Amino acid sequence: MKYISTRGKAPALNFEDVLLTGLAPDGGLYVPEKLPTYSAEQIAAWSKLSYAELAFEIVKPFVDDCIPQEDLRAIVNDSYSDFRHGAIAPLVQIDQNEWVLELFQGPTLAFKDFALQMLGRLLDYVLERKNQKVVVMGATSGDTGSAAIQGCKRCKNLDIFILHPYQRVSEVQRRQMTTVAGDNIHNIALKGHFDHCQAMVKASFADQSFLPEGRQLVAVNSINWARIMAQIVYYFYAGLALGAPGRKVSFSVPTGNFGDIYAGYLAKQMGLPIDQLVIATNCNDILHRFVSNNRFEKQELQHTLSPSMDIVISSNFERMLFDG
């Protein structure tokens, strides 16, 4: 499988190269040249699989032949070995036709664990095989930072730098990010908000001349395709548990940077019978304003009780616009 940039001015890459690239050199985001699609019969055949088994089936075509299947299966199994619940992503019924998908069963209690535990292990595998060292750089509004550090802390072939807005993340998230011991783990607090951190990360990817020779930047934000890929899995897992493909399902998704709900959109494009995808937001509502009134414009950031959603510009929305 090949991956192309949303801006059309970067070379097509395979999965391994996309994993180690993050942002495309033309400033765009990488997307698959063609999505795998599945019939209702194929999806139904997955109904008895465990979460890790289903993840392997979903991830396999995106990785293609870059990683041998047995090695990929081991990576996927290991990625979910530290989750507290046997179901990995259990569903809890709250009303006659309403369920909550618990995505807080990972080691840092954040839904980002589902993708970043896998991303860390994929990086470890590829870098060890290539005998290569990289610098991981990411911006966080709270939960990405701690999940990225937890996923990457075992990797001996990388240094990780996480930028977060000073005094704009929860105290639990701050401690999760700043109390993991390791010579390769670095936290930087910036005065400002998430979009300032994100802008600095994007500028660094655009000009990497400050790095030592032989090093390159790797993204752990959802600009890295592997993040989106891993999140597609729990939409299929929840859908199957609720009767898909014989029954349509809908999802209401809290979203800031548009990565999580975009993964749901891709699941629908791949064949999962999703009826509706509802964007749940706070007052930093650029996505709601665009969908409701066709207005995609910056407004001043409002600090709220949900800091992980305090984002002015949703980066992954570019992938959606490209597909449209």
Is 7 a domain residue? no
Task: List pLDDT tens digits, range 296-319.
Answer: 888 888 888 887 788 888 889 999
Query: What is residue 23's DSSP assignment?
Result: B
Is 309 a domain residue? no
Is 169 a domain residue? yes
What is the SS3 string spanning 212-256?
CCCCCEEECCCCCHHHHHHHHHHHHHHHHHCCCCCCCEEEEEECC
Give how far Cα 179 sits from Cα of 109, 118, 187, 297, Å: 16, 22, 10, 37
Q: Which domain covers residue 184, as residue numbers?
A: 111-219
Q: Which residues in the chain show pLDDT less than 70?
A: none
Overall residue count recorded for the chain in this entry: 324
Residue 112 known to be catalytic: yes
Domain count for the chain, please give it.
Answer: 1
C-alpha closest to that of 116 among 263, 255, 221: 221
Q: How many CB atoms lie within 10 A of CB 29?
A: 23
Q: How many CB atoms lie within 10 A of CB 227?
A: 25
Q: What is the CATH number of the domain that holds 121?
A: 3.40.50.1100
Query: Of the residues 2, 60, 112, 133, which is catalytic?
Result: 112
pLDDT for the residue numbered 29:
95
**Contact between residue 130 and residue 145 where contact means Cβ atoms under 8 Å apart:** no
Is 251 a domain residue? no
Is 18 a domain residue? no
Is 164 a domain residue? yes
pLDDT for the residue numbered 287:
87
pLDDT for the residue numbered 261:
95
pLDDT for the residue numbered 202:
87
Residue 277 host element (H or E): strand 274-280
Is 226 a domain residue? no
pTM score of the predicted model: 0.92
**Contact between residue 99 and residue 91 where contact means Cβ atoms under 8 Å apart:** yes
Q: How many CB atoms lie within 10 A of CB 32?
A: 19
Is 101 a domain residue? no
pLDDT for the residue numbered 130:
94
